Amino acid sequence: MYATFRLRLLDALPIARKTVLAEMDELVFVLDETGAVVTANNAATERFGDERELSGTHITSVLGNDAATVLGSGDQNVDIATEIDSTPRHFTVSQTKLTDDYDMVVGQLLVCRDVTERVHRERELEELTTRLKLSLSETDTGVWEWNPDTDTIVWDEASERLFGYEPGEFPGTVD
């Protein structure tokens, strides 16, 4: 006991928790049982305004109407889209119910990870894949892949057709 108090070992825990929340890149909102913001971390207040401005504001006013799907859903991760400063943004929202000692729900904790860049990259990749597939099919071009470690070759259906094989008939070897 003496060492715990003398060395102030319990003082580090609240400071560590506060520092973790303050330094997180993710937006963190603590909501009451109605969905109103009670508090938010630095990342959230930097993006949406002062904590005093956010306090008491319903989360749908902050994150948009898609945030309503998160409230009470019980889902751990929900993807939502919203606009911030007239710019479309995408978030993956993790929800945790906050309960008191009697297991009564007193609020929710939302952790929002901005995945806008990932969503844009995925869309670009889908568009490029669609263009490539269209180009290959329209030009009757075959695609093949050779693995030098196993010395196996994989052909697509167009390559098989161009070399006189039925689909799935190519043996997959150099020979």
* pLDDT tens digits, one per residue of 71-99: 766 657 888 888 877 889 999 999 888 88
The answer on pLDDT for 117 being more than 90 is yes
- Is the Cβ–Cβ distance between 80 and 54 less than 8 Å? no
This prediction has a pTM of 0.69
Average pLDDT of the residues of the chain = 85
The answer on pLDDT for 26 being more than 60 is yes
Which stretches of the chain are DSSP H helices? 2-6, 12-23, 42-48, 51-54, 59-63, 116-138, 157-162
> Which of 35-44, 78-87, 96-105: highest mean pLDDT?
35-44
Name the residue with tokens 């098989």: 160
Pairwise CA distance, residues 42 & 33, whole Å: 22
- Is the Cβ–Cβ distance between 31 and 110 less than 8 Å? yes
Name the residue with tokens 């929002």: 112
